[in-house]
Structure 1
Amino acid sequence: MKHSLLAAAFALPLACLAQKSAPENLVQYAHPLVGTAKMGHTYPGATVPFGAVQLSPDTDTLSYEQNGKYNPDIYSYCAGYQYKDPTIVGFSHTHFSGTGHSDLGDFLVMPTTGTLQLNPGTADKPLGGYRSAYSHQTEVAEPAYYKVRLADNDILAELTATTRVGVHQYTFPKADESHIILDLMAGIYNYPGKNTWTFVRVENDSLVTGYRQTNGWGRTRVVYFALSFSKPFKSYGSRNYDQKQPYRGFWGRFDQNHNWPDLAAHQLRMHFDFGATQAGQQVKLKMALSPVSTAGALANLRAEAPGWDFADYKRKGQAMWQQELSKIAITSPKRVDKENFYTAMYHAFTGVTTYQDTDGQYRGLDQNNHQAKDFTNYTTFSLWDTYRALHPLYNLVQPKRNADMAQSMLMHFDQSAEHMLPVWSHYANENWCMIGYHSVPVVCDAIVLGNAPFDQNKALDACVTTARQRWYDGLGLYMDKGYVPEDKSGASVSKTLEYAFDDYCIAQAAKKLSRADIEKEFSQRATNWQNVYDARIGFMRPRLADGTFRQKFDVLTTSDPGYIEGNAWNYSLYVPHDPAGLIAKMGGNKRFVPHLDSLFTMNLPDKFFAETEDITRDGIIGNYVHGNEPAHHAAYLYNWTDQPYKTQPRIRMILNKMYHQGADGLGGNDDCGQMSAWYIFSALGFYPVAPASGEYALGSPAVHGAVLQVGEGKTFTVTVKNQSDKNVYVQSAKLNGKLLTRPFLPVSEVRQGGTLEFVMGSKPVRK
């Protein structure tokens, strides 16, 4: 008995120690439903970090045109799902996260019972098709897991995923007939003629392969699949919607009811029939995707999902999320702080996606197959958005992935007939969406920070070649005149300012690589922002080819063609690489600080909201539009003035107003993770105002502390003393014990690991 008591005495503290040291479950704090209402444009379904499969419910699949005209409702369905909708059409395997444009929605699957219906029906008449009503009360959305009860058929649908495989589990009720619909016509942003071809092969009674080729936002996009069922289907069938009546040509001499194992059409839906089911009977599906071939899809299926244990795939998927979310471990006494932070982490790690098979093969921009060697090939580069904070975040806590992303962009350059780095690319397509050449900041930032395990001089040459393409979007005029003339190329002010920033990044990388000629050329080009500044009125203004400023001008209107996703007031602050020069141009601190103050305090006229289709009043603070990326650095500009403390309450205000829990918890499109990356940096207390500059600007931390895994086993710790909702002002900041006399951090020191210590207070420190 004494031995037993002694053993118990030792066991108790050891058990307590083990329990105390167990890592916190961070998955519980990430909520995929955040951003699924209004204009967040996120999806709630199952995916793993940077996964090639995004298996998620679609609440509608609208056509781009309705009655021959643009359908204005389609903008709400960039992610296929709107929280307000009462029905689910089905579960498709590919989605963008938070974009303002879309594509994808491939291979929609829907379980049904009763009489077979191949028409999806409509939201107002769901019983006229295979869609189903549902309730949010039965809906569960977690990282790598989604569950909902399809009310009209009483089917419990559960989804999980691996990197390349979507895993479905459908629990049926007692029914005389049960079916699985595979809709190869459905898609997000369905343009007329978007489906250029679909091929399906029924390999046997539990395996189906095929591909879908579309001509949508991506002009030629091919996705291959392998679909496996956990039990044999009893029968199958299809309908070719290309044919309004039975085809009576050569094949007309065969039985029209015969189910061919090979099927091909532009518009095709299939059904797989399982006969009667008992209550609780399950049918499981696994659909693997490949950018290369059906053989690649089959290999992905066998490598990542060989068995049928749904719960095991869910566990493994959530373990992957735990590992990635643990890259930043924050402390806070408030659960909502952790929910906001880790939801942002979740969204930041779903934007860019893996684009290669398990053997490293992928489809290139030249539409040939390529082999990724010593790197993972990625796609979904919404670079006008993500160069600002998302890729700098990856450079900090996902350095290997970001280096691979930069290399993926360089492979894009090699495969490009235009000799351009990507602008907005996905699935081996260049969409040419938005402006600038914003792969350049990503590649150059990696070079400047020493996170570029590739031929850096060749990478710089690719940046330079991209920046010298005279045919591209007013770039030749920009090179000749030092600005883009508005009467020759629209959005001229925005283009000039963004080209100038990209040029600055090239100069920084050239400096790092001792390429003096390139540094000189692009340092000069980086000053071109001055050429669209009208000193008479104190704003950036469209300039014409003859050198004069355009007469018609309104600093608040968002419909001015001189700007994109912003107005003159917003873009007049967009010189992230030279805030000091901008402040001097605008008359110094005495004039600049009140101007910046007014951005957050002015009351916009009603006409502003009438012109702004994609922004609600909820997403705007004064004239500061957080949902539009050109403003993301604005609150940090006080750091270059004699009143840097003003940055601090602005940051805390934006954090509180633009991010919260709930389906409408984002103040605009998440834009492939850029909005979320802004939150992560700002909550930690610093932000990359100018990627490739080598500096972070200090703000006001919202967390109570954090430990960042910055690669190679190094950690960077943020400690915050006297933290509270009222103590928003930084009293002092120390980096590795040394007092910071400027409100900036060297990125290189953060990446080396160390400690940043904030002391907070309720009153500003005026220095």
Structure 2
Amino acid sequence: MRIQYWYSFLGMAFAIPAMAQQTESLVPYVKPLTGTARMGHTYPGATVPFGMVQLSPDTDTLSYEQNGQYNKDVYRYCAGYQYADKTIVGFSHTHFNGTGHSDLGDFLIMPTTGALQLNPGTADKPESGYRSAFSHDNETAEAGYYKVKLDDHHITAELTTTPRVGIHRYTFPAADQAHIILDLVHGIYNYPDKNVWTYVRVVNDTLITGYRQTNGWARTRTEYFALSFSKPFKNYGCENSSARQVYRGFWRKFNQNANFPELAGKQLKLFFDFAITQGEQVMLKMALSPVSMDGALRNLRAEAGNWNFDGYKNAAQQAWENELHRVEIFTPDKATKEVFYTSLYHTFINPTVYMDVDGSYKGLDQNVHKADGFVNYTTFSLWDTYRALHPFFNLIQPARNADMIRSMLAHYDQTSLHMLPIWSHYANENWCMTGYHSVSLIADAVVKGNASFDANKALDACIVTASNRWYEGVGDYTDKGYVPEDKSGASVSKTLEYAYDDWAIAQMARKLNRPAVYDSFMRRAAYYKNVFDASTGFMRPRLSNGSFKKEFDPLDTEGQGFIEGNAWNYSLYVPQDPGSMIELMGGKKRFVAHLDSLFTMHLPDKYFEHTEDITRDGIIGNYVHGNEPSHHVAYLYNWAGAPAKTQERVRMILKHQYHTGADGLGGNDDCGQMSAWYIFSTLGFYPVAPGSEDYAIGSPAIEKAVLHLENGNTFTVEAQNQSDKNVYVKKMLLNGQPYTKTAISHADIVKGGSLVFVMSNKP
């Protein structure tokens, strides 16, 4: 058993190496409101790096169904907050960051004054419920801290967190009627009957415990809590919406109809009444646990044993300082620093810790397990994050990344399906998106020497995962060498993604000296060729009889064999073998022209008919930066003998898809993938094929950066003469020696040294 106390969190093994001198505070450059407008789907509230609690305002709550039909507007609220909204419903404790799907929004707290209302009301009539109007003029969002004035209640709300505890401070006006509402009905992306059961126990007049079971995107999710008040409440009550009853009273005189110590039901909303003087502050501490109410109490006592709000805020922001100082950049441009460190902040939010302070957590088998010798994580959006986020962790956060892989291997051991995670959170597998990309990030760690786990056992798990014939066309893929479209939709995407994943398995097998496995999976890695149609020059869906599907439009995304992309995008998805792909497509000259067309063509409006306007975010020509299958594409010019075009395109994407402000992200951040792309590309290199030692060279967009590595070494990137016009690499020096390759190896970076780019305005 090991207990991790909050203040020791700052000194954990994977904290910033001591040699990094924190000469400048970096927290002021983090702007958590970035991405909260349109479809960035980030949240502005408080969390610590990789924290289990994400305490943030929710500006609306929408049902999955509206008049019996799917309500497309719920997509806007994946993170619970939209910058354009004018009201706040309350502050809930769990959020996804930057996803295209949602769940969570657990345990909403809202302070109010005046007549008690237990209905949240509506945005157009906030006075009809407990929500409140607010102004961005009275809103502050920092790393680890959030503050806002609730105009309708004249209350100032402040939020901060420890890893497992959300800490609230509310400054009230004088009020005979002041309330704290705990809404256990509220959630983000409310499916019909999402709440399976809720339970609340009033321990005394300052402590409440309970839990919530939901059946949403995660089908069997239970979250426990312990809620502590700094001031005893004078009265409390609960509305059980499902039973249409209101219970009022104080537990000391137990009466089942009026004064109760506990309550259970599907739709519970509690309120706690206070007498408040002018300017009085009431604090709340809500600890979460994936295991039990006792676990939540242990987390509360271990991490939040006092009522020093400013102390918790300072500790949270120091934790962020430690993480942000892993990469120090030097530039006179403040906006560049803000975008960079906001991106770094977003990469260090997910995955999230998923265990109590004693290492207990709930597994895929719904049993309680202990994380022995590692930190257990959840929130694995792997279709997105295998591309750049986890490779970035392998470089900057290798200890954490190894623990994330241990968490995935535990997932594998706990499921009877013999699968590594696809998209998992809170002891559930969501089966979202295609491929089996856990194998990619495991292979990337093994190949790059970051396998502080049983690498051969991990390889065995990868082999079994890739051999499950029941999974999304894998049986036909192994038999025919492709996924037939008439058997499994998105067949081309699946074929291409499986081929890449199989290549990653082969690289791991080679590293571990298992030649038979290497040979087998390298054969499968070439299956991408089986869906290439030379007559059109595109990847194209094939049917079970071997023929290509007749109805084919390479610009369309509907029914063409692709997911979140079209043939133009996915025909370029062969990161494991760009050279052969280029030859298939007619050679280097034709390929460069094809890439040029991708970035400059106009995509007609009719191709947005089925996909809603949300897909317009992140589009440059027919290049879709807001969807991850295109993230490596700008770097493919390197393999076609046109590295200057890679440099030009990368800098154009950086400039147009990332900036300061609430709408500063060109699409969902996808648990940090979009931000990781920005960081790598700003530094001047990118992992086109995770599982390879190499990073493709691009165009650095920063004058200087110092990477403080966990092995104690530093690697410095310097871009001389860098500017918005000087985007072309004239020459490079690696450790003072001329360097002419279009890639740099992981080994060259982690052993320390320097890479100097001399930039020019001419290719």
Q: TM-score, normalised by structure 2?
A: 0.96
Q: Is residue 217 of structure 1 aligned with residue 217 of structure 2? A: yes
Q: Tell me if structure 2 keeps the 8 A contact 1:615–1:627.
A: no
What displacement does 1:734 show?
Answer: 2.0
Q: Tell me if structure 1 keeps the 8 A contact 2:99–2:669.
A: yes
Structure 1 runs of 4+ aligned residues shifted over 6 Å read none
Q: TM-score, normalised by structure 1?
A: 0.95
What displacement does 1:614 show?
Answer: 5.8
Q: Which amino acid in the other structure matches residue 448 of structure 1?
A: V
Q: Which amino acid in the other structure matches residue 42 of structure 2?
A: T
Q: In the superposition, relative to structure 1, how do residues 312 and 533 fare at CA in structure 2: closer, same or farther (>3 Å)?
A: same
1:508-519 residue pairs with structure 2 within 5 A?
A: 508-519=507-518
Partner Cα distance (1:44, 1:392) in 2: 26
Partner Cα distance (1:596, 1:67) in 2: 45
For structure 1, which segment, 291-300 or 747-756, has the greater mean C-alpha deviation from structure 2 after superposition?
Answer: 747-756
What displacement does 1:22 show?
Answer: 5.7
Partner Cα distance (2:87, 2:526) in 1: 53
User: 1:578 matched to which residue of 2?
Assistant: 577
What displacement does 1:753 show?
Answer: 1.6
Partner Cα distance (1:68, 1:355) in 2: 35
1:206-355 residue pairs with structure 2 within 5 A?
A: 206-244=206-244, 257-275=257-275, 277-355=276-354
1:546-695 residue pairs with structure 2 within 5 A?
A: 546-613=545-612, 615=614, 617-695=616-694
User: 2:453 matched to which residue of 1?
Assistant: 454
Q: Is residue 533 of structure 1 aligned with residue 532 of structure 2? A: yes
User: 2:89 matched to which residue of 1?
Assistant: 89
Local SS of the residue matching 1:450: coil
What displacement does 1:157 show?
Answer: 0.3
User: 1:414 matched to which residue of 2?
Assistant: 413
Q: Which amino acid in the other structure matches residue 720 of structure 2?
A: K
Local SS of the residue matching 1:223: strand
1:174-189 residue pairs with structure 2 within 5 A?
A: 174-189=174-189
Structure 2: segments with no counterpart, 5+ residues: 1-19, 248-253
Partner Cα distance (2:129, 2:560) in 1: 44
Local SS of the residue matching 2:115: coil
User: 1:362 matched to which residue of 2?
Assistant: 361
Q: Which amino acid in the other structure matches residue 214 of structure 1?
A: T
User: 1:134 matched to which residue of 2?
Assistant: 134
What displacement does 1:616 show?
Answer: 5.0
Q: In the superposition, relative to structure 1, how do residues 618 and 67 fare at CA in structure 2: closer, same or farther (>3 Å)?
A: closer
Partner Cα distance (1:415, 1:674) in 2: 27
User: 2:74 matched to which residue of 1?
Assistant: 74
Partner Cα distance (2:735, 2:460) in 1: 37
Partner Cα distance (1:666, 1:21) in 2: 31
Q: In the superposition, relative to structure 1, how do residues 174 and 297 fare at CA in structure 2: closer, same or farther (>3 Å)?
A: same
User: 1:104 matched to which residue of 2?
Assistant: 104
Q: Which amino acid in the other structure matches residue 596 of structure 2?
A: D
Partner Cα distance (2:292, 2:245) in 1: 32
Q: Tell me if structure 2 keeps the 8 A contact 1:47–1:160.
A: yes
Q: Tell me if structure 2 keeps the 8 A contact 1:43–1:80.
A: yes
Cα deviation, 1:547-570, whole Å, max 9, x if unaligned, reads 000000001112234100000000
Q: In the superposition, relative to structure 1, how do residues 294 and 246 fare at CA in structure 2: closer, same or farther (>3 Å)?
A: closer
Cα deviation, 1:565-601, whole Å, max 9, x if unaligned, reads 0000000000001000100111101211100111100
Partner Cα distance (2:259, 2:471) in 1: 50
User: 2:7 matched to which residue of 1?
Assistant: none
Partner Cα distance (1:398, 1:613) in 2: 37
Q: Is residue 441 of structure 1 aligned with residue 440 of structure 2? A: yes
Partner Cα distance (1:681, 1:49) in 2: 19
User: 1:42 matched to which residue of 2?
Assistant: 42
Partner Cα distance (2:335, 2:83) in 1: 21
User: 1:7 matched to which residue of 2?
Assistant: none
Q: Tell me if structure 2 keeps the 8 A contact 1:398–1:711.
A: yes
Q: Tell me if structure 1 keeps the 8 A contact 2:589–2:640.
A: no
1:181-200 residue pairs with structure 2 within 5 A?
A: 181-200=181-200
Q: Tell me if structure 1 keeps the 8 A contact 2:697–2:743.
A: yes
Structure 1: segments with no counterpart, 5+ residues: 1-19, 248-253
Partner Cα distance (1:255, 1:226) in 2: 24
> How many equivalent residue pairs?
738
CA RMSD of aligned residues (A): 1.3
Local SS of the residue matching 1:454: coil
What displacement does 1:719 show?
Answer: 1.1
Q: Tell me if structure 2 keeps the 8 A contact 1:716–1:753.
A: yes
Q: Tell me if structure 1 keeps the 8 A contact 2:240–2:246.
A: no
Q: Tell me if structure 1 keeps the 8 A contact 2:57–2:90.
A: yes
Local SS of the residue matching 2:45: coil
Partner Cα distance (1:236, 1:259) in 2: 9
Q: Which amino acid in the other structure matches residue 409 of structure 1?
A: M
User: 2:385 matched to which residue of 1?
Assistant: 386
Partner Cα distance (1:242, 1:287) in 2: 25
Partner Cα distance (2:298, 2:379) in 1: 23
Q: Tell me if structure 2 keeps the 8 A contact 1:93–1:106.
A: yes
Q: In the superposition, relative to structure 1, how do residues 400 and 234 fare at CA in structure 2: closer, same or farther (>3 Å)?
A: same
Partner Cα distance (1:150, 1:84) in 2: 16
Local SS of the residue matching 1:430: coil
Q: Which amino acid in the other structure matches residue 229 of structure 1?
A: F
Cα deviation, 1:700-720, whole Å, max 9, x if unaligned, reads 000111011121211111011
Q: Which amino acid in the other structure matches residue 437 of structure 1?
A: Y
Local SS of the residue matching 1:226: strand
Partner Cα distance (2:550, 2:484) in 1: 13
Partner Cα distance (1:712, 1:580) in 2: 34
What displacement does 1:259 show?
Answer: 2.7
Partner Cα distance (2:165, 2:711) in 1: 30
What displacement does 1:66 show?
Answer: 1.3
What displacement does 1:723 show?
Answer: 1.2
What displacement does 1:226 show?
Answer: 0.5
What displacement does 1:636 show?
Answer: 0.2
User: 2:26 matched to which residue of 1?
Assistant: 26
For structure 1, which segment, 66-75 or 473-482, has the greater mean C-alpha deviation from structure 2 after superposition?
Answer: 66-75
Q: Which amino acid in the other structure matches residue 495 of structure 1?
A: K
Partner Cα distance (2:709, 2:373) in 1: 21
Q: Tell me if structure 1 keeps the 8 A contact 2:239–2:246.
A: no
Q: Tell me if structure 2 keeps the 8 A contact 1:554–1:560.
A: no
What displacement does 1:452 show?
Answer: 1.0
What displacement does 1:286 show?
Answer: 0.3
Q: Which amino acid in the other structure matches residue 464 of structure 2?
A: T
Local SS of the residue matching 2:225: strand
Local SS of the residue matching 1:611: coil
User: 2:16 matched to which residue of 1?
Assistant: none
Q: Tell me if structure 2 keeps the 8 A contact 1:224–1:292.
A: yes
Local SS of the residue matching 2:160: strand
Q: Tell me if structure 1 keeps the 8 A contact 2:22–2:325.
A: no
User: 1:492 matched to which residue of 2?
Assistant: 491
User: 1:697 matched to which residue of 2?
Assistant: 696
Partner Cα distance (2:256, 2:66) in 1: 32
User: 2:12 matched to which residue of 1?
Assistant: none
Partner Cα distance (2:495, 2:259) in 1: 59
Partner Cα distance (1:581, 1:260) in 2: 71
Q: Which amino acid in the other structure matches residue 671 of structure 1?
A: D
Partner Cα distance (1:51, 1:263) in 2: 30
Local SS of the residue matching 1:600: helix
What displacement does 1:120 show?
Answer: 0.6
Cα deviation, 1:70-89, whole Å, max 9, x if unaligned, reads 11110000000000111000
Partner Cα distance (1:580, 1:321) in 2: 41
Partner Cα distance (2:490, 2:607) in 1: 18
Once the two structures are aligned, what percentage of the paired residues are identical?
Answer: 67
Q: Tell me if structure 1 keeps the 8 A contact 2:47–2:162.
A: yes
